[in-house]
Structure 1
Amino acid sequence: MILIKLGGSVITDKREYRRFNREIVARLCSEIKESGKKVIVVHGAGSFGHVLAKKHSLNSGFVNEDQIPAVAQVCYDVRELNSMIIKELNDAGIPSISMPPGSCFMMCDRTISLEGGDVIRSMVDKGLMPVLFGDVVQDKELGFAICSGDQIMERLSEIYDFERIIFVSDIDGLFDDDPKDNPNAKLFEYVNIDTLESVRAGSTVDDVTGGVYEKMMSMLRMTSSDRECVLINGTVPGRLLSALRGEDVICTTAKGGIQ
């Protein structure tokens, strides 16, 4: 089984509120179908979640009642995004079902403290693809908090034995500079904790759940002696399919853990 994260930067335009990249998502779903692999999909919230979450400081937890309408709107928006992704998966011939984080996760001080792993496994065993996503969920200490797609990925990697973990973004991998501004930026084909600490890369677009450095740290925490995590560019046709098949592909491979 393979775990896939469809990043918010590839499924939405994170600079524009609620802008869905339907054509890209449809192609990615087709590549998943063509691979024939059994997968679990997690997707980011992108511009359906981060714009309002940042504006109203939702990751700070409950501060005042003025945040409540924003919580409701973000929850509505990310579920609408999830529904659109579910539709593309089903249209591609992949029976998929939504797994809202609020129904299977509880947080405590921004850390996942309870999960419904058995429910997710049951869906997979029945031939359904669970699709989870970044969301606002209940937090025992803060009232509510953002449960990011990356946090969900980490928790799933702890409770399931995935053969491969794939992060799909809008860049080829980790660079020594911003490739969108510097065409001569160098791609790191492999990264370990020492490489990452020397780069300390940041996102090109502000992200309330962490920049490139934090995402690469998350990937490293998911690696093991026999499991690597790869970061690929989902805007390029065929790369997700190649990664699913274990073929050579332009990417950054995280390995070696964080010790």
Structure 2
Amino acid sequence: MRPVTFVKWGGSLITDKTGRFSVRTDVLERLADELARYHAAPPNAPIVLGHGSGSFGHVAAREAGFDPGAPLPDPAPALSQIQKAVDTLHRHVVHALRNAGLPVFSWAPSSAFVTTRGTPERSSSDPVHHALSAGALPVTYGDVTLDTKHGLSICSTETVFRTLIDALQQQGPPVARVLWCGNTDGVYDANGHTLPDLTAEQARTMIGDVHDPDGTDVTGGMALRLRTASALAEQGIDSLLLNGTVPNRFAAALRNDPDAHRTHIAAG
């Protein structure tokens, strides 16, 4: 099997994070079509797709009283409420992908992870490995998890990716890169211009400078993405941060076509 490409469709891309339970159906369907065209034109890399929970999971978590780092005295109602919200968005994503003809294998972190203060301690990633071997498209997402210390936690797509990538690096196939698709042209400098290339160290130094995510967010937005991408670069895995709202940008990134409107965080 060729090296795997991980793809995240950010919650700010496929939903309106300033609203409540609002899907950007046109964007979602176009992204699914771009992925389907790539999948149908070998040679192509196997893909693991993850998506954020946007105006579904983040809003539900806030409404349920979730506070990162603080235990809930009665987590059961919040678990159910948040899980319902993220599952609703996931069904929209899976529906768009299957309508585009893609062989989706849906994989829920809430059924596979137990976390401790938000960090997965016990997990079962074998289904993702076998789905890739079978030629399927594993699709996962940021999810609520049972947590040994706090009762529940929110496991971001970034955390899910880190856990899956660590597992695949041990048992194969290797992971080559991650495409982070959001609603900005990569990472901007102080003048609003895209930074085309960053090292892991440069990406880390920018974490405190990025603005807070628009709308409701309980996991960290771009700051978390930079932290994750810099850590992956030190493991030898490239990241591209690109604007998925622009038609065919995602398709071009899948094909490794050059594009000035993105940020490359280089491995090594």
Q: TM-score, normalised by structure 2?
A: 0.87
1:73 aligns with 2:81: yes
The answer to whether the 8 Å contact 1:6/1:42 transfers is yes
Distance 2:164 2:72 in 1: 30
SS at match of 2:17: coil
Shift of 1:77: 1.1
CA displacement at 1:196 relative to structure 2: 4.2
Identity, % of aligned positions = 28
Q: Spell out the pairing of 1:209-228 with structure 2 (5 A cutoff).
A: 209-224=219-234, 226-228=236-238
Match of 2:197 among 164, 169, 190: 190
Could you tell which deviates more after superposition, 149-158 or 200-209?
200-209
Any unmatched runs of 5+ in structure 1? 178-183
Asked if the contact 2:232–2:267 (Cα under 8 Å) also holds between the matched residues in 1, the reply is no
1:233 equivalent to 2:252? Answer no
The answer (yes or no) to whether the contact 2:13–2:181 under 8 Å persists in 1 is yes
Deviation for aligned residue 1:21: 0.7
Distance 1:145 1:2, change over 3 A: same
Aligned position for 1:31: 34
Residue 171 of structure 2 corresponds to none
Deviations 1:70-89 (CA, angstroms, capped at 9, x unpaired): 33121101111111101111
How much has 1:124 moved relative to structure 2? 1.6
SS of structure 2 residue aligned to 1:106: strand
Q: 1: distance between equivalents of 2:177 and 2:124?
A: 22
Between the aligned partners of 1:187 and 1:100, the Cα distance in structure 2 is 34
In structure 1, how many angstroms separate the alpha carbons of the residues matched to 2:84 and 2:229? 28
With 28-37 and 222-231 compared, the bigger mean Cα shift is at 222-231
Corresponding residue for residue 152 of structure 2 = 144
> 1:110 Cα shift?
1.1
Are 1:61 and 1:145, in contact at CA under 8 Å, matched by a contact in 2?
no
- Report the CA distance between 1:213 and its aligned residue: 2.2
Partners of 1:151 and 1:225 lie apart in 2 by 15
Q: Give the C-alpha shift of residue 152 in structure 1.
A: 0.7
| Contact kept? 2:6, 2:47, Cα under 8 Å | yes
Q: Larger deviation: 22-31 or 190-199?
A: 190-199
Q: Secondary structure at the match of 1:172?
A: coil
135, 159, 174: which one aligns with 1:127: 135
- The verdict on how the C-alpha distance between 1:43 and 1:71 changes in structure 2, with shifts beyond 3 A counting, is same
Alpha-carbon distance change, 109 to 202 in structure 1, aligned in 2, over 3 angstroms: same
Q: Distance in 1 between matches of 2:227 and 2:108?
A: 25
Shift of 1:256: 4.5
Letter in 2 for 1:118: D
Indicate if the aligned counterparts of 1:32 and 1:241 stay in contact, CA closer than 8 A. yes
> Partners in 2 of 1:124 and 1:130 — Cα distance?
7
Which range moved further: 195-204 or 19-28? Answer: 195-204
| Cα distance change on mapping 1:79 and 1:223 into 2, 3 Å | same
Q: More displaced, 157-166 or 94-103?
A: 157-166
What TM-score do you get using the length of structure 1 for normalisation? Answer: 0.90
Task: Report which stretch shifted further, 18-27 or 220-229.
Answer: 220-229
Give per-residue Cα distances to partners, 1:179-202, cap 9 Å, x unaligned. xxxxx5121111222354156212
Verify the 8 A CA contact 2:239 2:264 in the aligned structure 1: yes
